[in-house]
Amino acid sequence: MKTIPEDSVFIIKNTRYTERDPTNELLEIAEEIEDVLKRNYKNSFKNVFHESDLELLVRLGLIMQKHMIDGMVRVLKMLETITATESKSKRSNKHVSLPDQLPAKVNGVDNQLDQYGLLNQFMTKLKQEIDKRNHCLELHTLRILCHRNYLVHSFGFVDGNVKVYLIHAEAKETVTKYFQSYMKTRVLEMTFYPGPSDFRGRKLSYEQGSRIDVSHSPIFKDISYGTLGFFLMNKRRERFFTTCAHVIGLEHEAYCSDDHSVLGKSVFACERLSRQTKQWVDLSLVKVCQEKVLTCRQGLKGYSSSRTFSEYKIFPGSIEDLIGCNVYKWGATTNYTEGTFRNFIVSEDGFLQIGIESSISFAMEGDSGSLICLTIGEQDSNDLYAVHIIWGGPKMTIGSTKNMFNCYHISDALAEIRANFSNGEDMQMSAVTVNHFPISSSPIFACSSNFETASGISTDMSRNRNPKKRQKVLPPM
């Protein structure tokens, strides 16, 4: 028992009493584990999970990833030793040749140089991957510890630094001692800030292939609009699409921007904490009018240069896996933008903020409902994944927040629809990758073949609902 590694995970079997008081229960079990293992330090608390906790799967995956990275580090050191030895050997064998003693070109020398060039490229890519993934496990561990302490409002990874946002500034000393007790060994630097009172921020209104207007009247110059996210289909082959609830409310109609005709009507909307995932969801499900189905091009839209559509695939990894990944989005206001996923802040109120490093504004008002997508590997249309849905921009001014946005995971939207929309359990994401109808490439996409439209300026359509707070327990000390 004493030889159990420090990163071992302890799983609590579910019972009818599970999660009555989850943090205190986990703390008590962790203390019992330390007694059995005769440890004089508090290491188990961060590694104890309930059997039904989704974060358990994330932790196990990151532990396996860490072991793989350790192996990659050993390979990299071995290759560095080999190349250093070879370079030293070449320098020691150098001699000056007289003009009549110059050697003839030996077959295979160029090939050998090419091989060393490829080896150096491989080592560079290997080091980049190690640097990008090396701290994912530590990040997840810190995030779990923050989640289990009621004095922590939010946890973030911003510009390469761990930031902990506190309920109030006076809690800094207590929370510092908490981390010193339960995670003594850390590589990442941690800083503390007083948390903002409201993460909901200013609403944006948005699209992935089309601009969605909220008014049918052509006399309004400043028509509010949002962005179409993704398409779904039920067993009766009826088509639906998503946008934000603050753009198209329940039973409100959505209009095409070119001819102001009705595109569809919202049959389900929610702007609240998801009952399934406990994450904030701003979602409206719009049923497409039958006569408009053929004018919609369904599927995951590729990069700006590819102009292709593919089957929907949801990114299967955790948020820690996204750090350093190149992402892109299509929006009604900013059209196509791309950037690098750098930061995230997970709030205990159920709000998620992500930071995108980009040379321009990654998203603006009118882009609410846009999908954030990425590709794994090269820019291949067959390897595209959808990750998040943008619904707002924060009011936070702490640190670097130029390109930080309120989002939720696409799987949260699907879970909400399937659980709470009538007959939603058979809903599937719908992609028709071969379509003869054109789609606009301008910032004001339309859903029919007539794209002549006046530009509009969006207005804020938020309903200013107060989020429900999740009940918390006392922090373990």
Span of 70-79, 214-223, 320-329 with lowest mean pLDDT = 214-223
pLDDT band at 112 (very low <50, low <70, confident <90, very high): low
- What pLDDT does residue 209 have? 63
Q: What is the mean pLDDT of residues 253-271?
A: 90
Is residue 311 scored above 80 in pLDDT?
yes
- What pLDDT does residue 34 have? 84
Q: What is the mean pLDDT of residues 381-407?
A: 74
- Three-state DSSP state, 277: coil
pLDDT in tens, 164-183: 999 888 899 999 999 988 88
Q: What is the phi-psi region of residue 369: left when phi exceeds 0, alpha when psi lies from -120 to 50, beta otherwise?
A: left
pLDDT band at 473 (very low <50, low <70, confident <90, very high): very low
Q: What is the mean pLDDT of residues 178-199?
A: 82
Mean pLDDT of the chain: 78
Q: What is the mean pLDDT of residues 106-123?
A: 68
Whole-structure pTM value: 0.69
Span of 78-92, 224-238, 381-395, 457-471 with lowest mean pLDDT = 457-471
Distance (Å, whole) CA 226 – CA 371? 12
Distance (Å, whole) CA 185 – CA 160? 18
pLDDT band at 280 (very low <50, low <70, confident <90, very high): very high
pLDDT band at 5 (very low <50, low <70, confident <90, very high): confident
If 0-12 CB within 10 Å is exposed, 13-18 middle and 19+ buried, where does residue 307 land? exposed
Q: What separation in angstroms does the CA of 156 have from each of 188, 212, 383, 400? A: 12, 32, 28, 12
- Do you know the residue count of the chain? 477
Is residue 261 scored above 90 in pLDDT?
no
pLDDT in tens, 315-336: 988 999 999 999 999 998 889 9
- What pLDDT does residue 17 have? 60
